Amino acid sequence: MTSSAWAAFNTARERYREALERFGRTVRGLKTLQQRLVDHRPGPAYTVRNAVVYNRALDDLDPAARIRLILVGDNPGRREQETGRYLVGPSGKIAESFFRAAPELRINFRRNVLILNKTPVHTPRTAELRELCRAGGPELTGLIAETQRFMASLLLEFHRALSTSARPVPVWITGYSEMRRGGIFDPYTAALVGLYAGAKPFLRDQVFLYRHFSMNQFSADLRRQTLEGEGVRPALDRIGRSYRQRILGW
């Protein structure tokens, strides 16, 4: 990174850390509600360690880091709240395998990708954010919406820090289905649309939407939609722009 990019990156990272510390203090009993979700659902039992999860992988980066992609997931699951790192569970392993199998993209998933989420609030599964909101009432529902608006602003801040018009860094937002109106991530979508309306066109053009990596949805959709003779990158660009237009309107 250039010195100016590194300074902007550090500013965004510190704002991220401070905000998540504040979110974690805002709602009393959040971890208790999350533990109830874990204890009353099928699946592996575990102890909730981190109610709100900061991605500590960002602390591993230095000015020599070469970020070629910003990837946005949903929210931290079991492995993420245990490790304090994003996309390290089953979906992360699938994503890592995808990039290994696509060397033409020249992206090492663990070295060249900055990973964010739509909210840092943990649930065992993303759909259980709705149950968490019902259990926590208006206060927690409002907090989760606030975290989404913050994470949308953070995405644009990192996007600006790492991009130039000559070398823009693409943004892949995975899991677009709950970004529709009335979906779990409706607040994230609304914030993103407003924020990027004021961004430079080359940044807006580098935002792409896709299906989840979980259960191979991303790869299956890519295979299904790739045209005969079309390369991986052109197919990804075309598909990602189509979903962006559908959900974000540009």
- Please report, for the chain, the start and end positions of each structural domain, with discontinuous segments joined by +: 3-248
pLDDT at 37: 94
3 state SS for 68-121: CEEEEECCCCHHHHHHCCCCCCHHHHHHHHHHHCCHHHCCCCCCCEEEEECCCE
**Where does 94-234 show beta strands of DSSP type E?**
113-117, 171-174, 207-210
Kindly report the length of the chain.
250
Cβ–Cβ contacts within 10 Å for residue 53, how many?
24
d(CA 242, CA 250): 9
Cβ–Cβ contacts within 10 Å for residue 183, how many?
15
pLDDT at 42: 85
d(CA 160, CA 170): 11
| Residue 28: exposure state from Cβ atoms within 10 A (0-12, 13-18, ≥19) | exposed
DSSP H or E segment with residue 202: helix 201-204
pLDDT at 1: 87
Low-confidence ranges of the chain (pLDDT < 70): none
> With contact defined as beta carbons under 8 Å apart, do 70 and 114 qualify?
yes
| Type of residue found at 203 | L
Beta bridge partners of 121: 52
CA distances from 93 to 31, 65, 120, 239 (A): 27, 22, 20, 22
What is the third-level CATH fold of 3-248? Uracil-DNA Glycosylase, subunit E (3.40.470)
